[in-house]
Every structure is written in structure tokens, then in C-alpha cells.
Amino acid sequence: FPVSVVLPAGGTGERTGLQTPKQFCTFLGRPLISYTIQAFESIPWIQSIVVAVAKENMDLMTDIIQRFKHRKVRAVPGGSTRHRSICNGVLALGEEERPAVGRPKVVIIHDAVRPFVEEDFLYKIAMAAKEQGAAGAIRPLVSTVIATTSEGYLDHSLERAKYRASEMPQGFTYDVISQAYQRCSESDFEFGTECLHLALQYCGTNAKLIEGPPTLWKVTYKRDLAAAESIIKETLS
């Protein structure tokens, strides 16, 4: 069944405190996003990849696509929030112009800043998405989650064993994810972070959750860049 990928890469990387958004930071001569693209492009059952990037980085992205010969990739403008970037990517999949590439049955959504994703886990997500309509990666929590009062005191804490961190990749049938974005509200676009939640709320599709490997970790802070670099060096040497 045809599987396509949306990589939201429209962020400006504020939390790293660097000028360059983290997805465009270079390791061994190649930007981080190119490693993530490569992880998907090398999988034969993935037909196409759409990358959503901020307008100011569009030329840079076009250059990366050409320089590293990413043949399955197309860049589209990102949006002001992560949901808007993903939505633009999903819409672009519905407007595919290449005749050899049909509308996908399943869409995998993955952050551009999680380059170490592996084929066997992507396959689990794609299969579960095809069967259930939606699927997502989860990981055990590393810290306990607490709610605070507006004055900065403890309100309540959650029982850690009961909760999981929602990670990427997530997978959806094209019908579920495109309908979820058509039906959701402006405030979902502005404040929401969870695609799985939109699928449940607007399509009644409850996601299958699958525990993923630690390598799904997201490059978020400056220190993560050093860790990413050493993994890239290790896996390439």
C-alpha cells in the first residue's frame, strides 16, 4: 500500500539558542534534516516525502534537496505553528502532480529533528495505521509530571507508571489525517500539539500506541546537537 511522509521542519529552533534552526545544523558536511530524509528515502516502500519549511529557509531546503540528491522529496511552505506546517504537508500530498505517485493510503508524520528512526519501527507504525486508522510511538516517562498552581506551588502530581510520553513517528490513513485537519478549529491549529488527539476528536479514530526505541529521541537543546553528532560519527564509521 502506498505510504508517504510529512516532515514538519518549519521551526526556528528557539530552544537551542542558536542562529541556525537545529534541523539545518551540519554534521560531517550534511545538515541534520538530510540524515532524517535519508532514513526515509532509503526505504523502498516509502513513495514520497514532503518537507514543510519556513519561507525564509525555502532556498536553503531547495539547495539541500539538490545537493544531496533527495529524489523523493518536495518542499512546501511551513506554517506559524507545528500543526499548520503538518497540515500544509498533508494537503500537498493530496495535490501530488507526478503521475507515478498516487495519493497515499498511509501518511507517516515525523519530526525533521529525529534522524535516528529505523525501518522496522516505521513498518510497525505504518501497518497499525493502515489497520486502525491511526498509530503513534510512545516512550516511558523519564520524569514525573506535576501540575503547578499559578503561585508556583505543587497542585498535584501524576502517577508516573500510568502515563507515557507521546513521541514520533505517528501514522494515519490519508483519509483520517486530512479530515482531522479539515474539521479542526483555529485554536487546535494555534495551541494543539497532538495529531493523535485530532484524529480521535474529529474522526473518532483511536490510535494504536506502540512503544518505540530510545533512538526516537528528538534533538531539542544545544547539548542534543553534540549527542547527535557523536551518534552520526559512530554509525558512519
Is residue 180 close enough to count as binding ligand C5P by CB under 6 A?
no
Which run of H or of E encompasses 210?
Answer: strand 208-211
Cell numbers for 192, please give them.
494543539
**Out of 6, 8, 126, 173, which residue is the one contacting ligand C5P (CB under 6 A)?**
8
Cell numbers for 198, please give them.
485530532
Q: How far is the CB of 12 from ligand C5P (least distance, A)?
A: 7
Helix (H, G, I), strand (E, B) or coil at 122: helix
Q: Which is nearer to ligand C5P, 3 or 51 (CB)?
A: 51
Q: How far is the CB of 144 from ligand C5P (least distance, A)?
A: 21
**Separation between Cα atoms, residue 203 and residue 133, nearest integer Å:** 9
Task: Tell me how many residues contact ligand C5P (CB under 6 A).
Answer: 17
Is residue 132 close enough to count as binding ligand C5P by CB under 6 A?
no
Give, as ranges, the residues between 206 and 225 that touch ligand C5P (CB under 6 A). Answer: 218, 220
β-strands 26-27, 30-31: how paired? antiparallel
Residues 6+ apart with CB under 8 A from 221: 15, 16
Report which residue type is found at 62. Answer: T
Q: How far is the CB of 22 from ligand C5P (least distance, A)?
A: 8
Q: How far is the CB of 53 from ligand C5P (least distance, A)?
A: 8
Is residue 82 close enough to count as binding ligand C5P by CB under 6 A?
yes
Q: Residue 36: how many CB atoms within 10 A of its CB?
A: 25
User: Which letter does DSSP use for residue 115 in this model?
Assistant: T
Which run of H or of E encompasses 159?
Answer: none
Is residue 196 close enough to count as binding ligand C5P by CB under 6 A?
no
Is residue 34 close enough to count as binding ligand C5P by CB under 6 A?
no
Residues 6+ apart with CB under 8 A from 11: 21, 22, 23, 54, 78, 82, 113
Q: Which is nearer to ligand C5P, 23 or 48 (CB)?
A: 23
Is residue 72 close enough to count as binding ligand C5P by CB under 6 A?
no
Report which residue type is found at 50. Answer: V
**Out of 4, 16, 48, 85, which residue is the one contacting ligand C5P (CB under 6 A)?**
85
Q: Which residues bind ligand C5P (CB under 6 A)?
A: 8-11, 23, 52, 78-82, 85, 111-113, 218, 220
